[in-house]
Structure 1
Amino acid sequence: MSQLIRLQDIQATHRDVIGDDYYDPTGKTAYGVNEEKIGKIDGALVEDTTGRIRYLIADVGGWFSSKEVLIPAGLARIVGDDVFFDSLTKSQVEAMEVYDHDYQYSYKEQNEKDRKAFVADTIPTEERMELNETSYNAPDTLELLEERLTVNKDRIVAGLVKVGKHVVTEERNVDVELEEEHAHIERTNVDRPTDRRIGETGTTETIAVELEAERARVGKETYVTEEVNVGKTTERHTETIVETIQREELDIDRDGNVVDGKGKLYEGNDVTADDVRRARGM
């Protein structure tokens, strides 16, 4: 009968069993059915002889004020820093025993308790679950996440152009050619006899001659001298944005091999350890 010990204990005392790059879910955020946040992972229980993860220790404080339970590792789906128990319901967790830090658990004993807990009468019929061996196999696949930059463009007011007008007053000189008349008197000496006598009525005569002159009359007319149209032109330029992004990569043991969720070499049909080493230039 294999005993179950905490992952942190086997890491400290039996490093040779699990290697240096063993996956540790401690501290990951835990989610239940419908991706409802239920708490966090406080650790894991592994077999003392193989180092295989069999249970995740979950603090389900999101559903209960304070409770830690053992959840079969095969029910977990690990995505980055999150652990999803897609089929785990509150009724199922309520039927589980509280995890005892001081108790020495065995795989067989706990397995029997689980099979009863997941079909307990307190659980609604549609939520009851028959566990099998695969329910205790830690997930072999880790989803690796990568951040990618997404660039959007916002239109902003970069400037404002206002066009108005004002009145400018200035003096202008205009040359105008004017005409005016002046009296021109010509006197001609004559010597001829006349019947008129000096002093007689009608002998005193006055001649009036009107003298004309031109005067400048200045008027003002308004003309359109310029038309102003205000439009917009679009210029394009390239702006370089520097941002830090993250991605997740596989953990490789000290021999350059890919380690799966059970701490063993990954020997999939499609990808081998040699394939990974070649891809990583090792």
Structure 2
Amino acid sequence: MMSRLVRLQDIEATQREVLGNDYYNPADKTAYGIGGEKIGKVVDALVESETGRVRYLIVDAGGWFTSKEVIVPVGLSRIVGDEVYFDSLTKDQVEAMETYDNDYAYTYTEQHRKDRDVFAGETLPAESRLDLTENHYAAPNTLELLEERLSVNKDRIVAGVASIGKHVVTEEREVQVELEEEKAHIERTAVNRLTDRQIGDDAGATVSVQLEADRVNVSKETYVTEEVSLGKTSHSHTETILETIKREELNVDDLGNIVDKNGSVVNYEGITADDVRKARGL
């Protein structure tokens, strides 16, 4: 019996009980191809109508082509948070795939055969060829737990500028200077001495004496009274930075079973690692 493939969004509306409560919807997740190149987004998933098991992801490869939707075996994907990585998916492979037809009745058996013709086809370059196995049709069973870590760096900034200068201050200084000066005085001495000069011989004669005095002569000299230099020193201090970070932890019970946020055991069979994320309410 060929398993009929239906879109996840359709089975959510008509047969939700097939999916159960613990399933992962990849719609609108960003898609990346080989080398981490962004190729577009995941539009939806194709699941088996009888079991609800995801077999394909419908990918809009608008990053590689103007407009082309293809279905990619789910086992080629690696889901990390809101991003889906197809680490081995090449542009040549997508170009060789048929464009997804929403009105076509896809079956798992028929599409599995077409995939082998495409991925192993001789029209592809040798490095793009891939021999598909059943593992390529099983949803990823590896759940990547993420955590945030603080990265603290230091920036050197100008915290201030120090400068020095000088200006002129004027002040008056009083200096006591002792000065000397000469003054004339007349000294008369009585004499009774005979002379042969006649009165009038020295008429108009004068006697002069030079009088001397000290005068203040002030000059100014400049002296260096102080030397000032400008430098800088480095001081260390510690700042405490408080930041909230997150990490993901796996929910398990005492027996090591994965449980959902309500404590119910999640069945491993037929679910993906991202189903577990959904069960945990992430």
The interval holding the TM-score normalised by the smaller chain is: 0.7 to 0.9
Structure 1 residue 68: Cα displacement:
0.9
Instruction: Number of aligned residue pairs: give it.
Output: 267
Q: Deviations over 1:116-145 (max 9, x none)?
A: 121223212332211110011111112233
1:1-282 superposed matches below 5 A:
1-188=2-189, 190=190, 192-195=192-195, 199-202=199-202, 206-241=206-241, 245=245, 247-248=247-248, 252=260, 254-257=262-265, 262-263=270-271
Counterpart CA distance in 1 for 2:247 and 2:22 is 18
Q: Is the 8 A contact 2:140 2:273 kept in 1?
A: no
Q: Deviations over 1:203-226 (max 9, x none)?
A: 775332222211111111110011
Query: Letter of the aligned partner of 2:62 in structure 1?
Result: G
Aligned partners of 1:73 and 1:125: how far apart in 2? 22
Q: In the TM superposition, what whole-angstrom CA distance separates every residue of 1:237-280 from its partner, at most 9, and x where no partner exists?
A: 444556565545668354444576953799xxxxxx9xx9xxxx
CA distance in 2, matches of 1:265, 1:191: 149
Q: Which amino acid aligns with 2:82?
A: D
Distance 1:243 1:58 in 2: 38
Question: TM (normalized to structure 2)?
Answer: 0.81
Report the Cα offset of residue 98 of structure 1: 1.5
> Could you tell me the TM-score, scaled by structure 1's length?
0.81
Specify the SS of the correspondent of 2:218.
Answer: coil
Q: Once the two structures are aligned, what percentage of the paired residues are identical?
A: 61
Matched letter for residue 2 of structure 1: S
CA 1:103–1:255 in structure 2 vs 1: closer, same or farther (change >3 Å)?
Answer: farther
Aligned to 1:280: none
In structure 2, do the counterparts of structure 1 residues 84 and 191 end up closer, same or farther at CA, with 3 Å as the change threshold?
closer
CA displacement at 1:21 relative to structure 2: 4.2
* Cα distance in 2, alignment partners of residues 259 and 152 from structure 1: 45
Q: Is the 8 A contact 2:26 2:44 kept in 1?
A: yes
Change (3 A) 1:193 1:116: closer
Q: CA RMSD in A?
A: 3.0
Alignment CA distance shift 1:264-1:86 (3 Å): closer
Distance in 2 of aligned mates of 1:159 and 1:253: 54
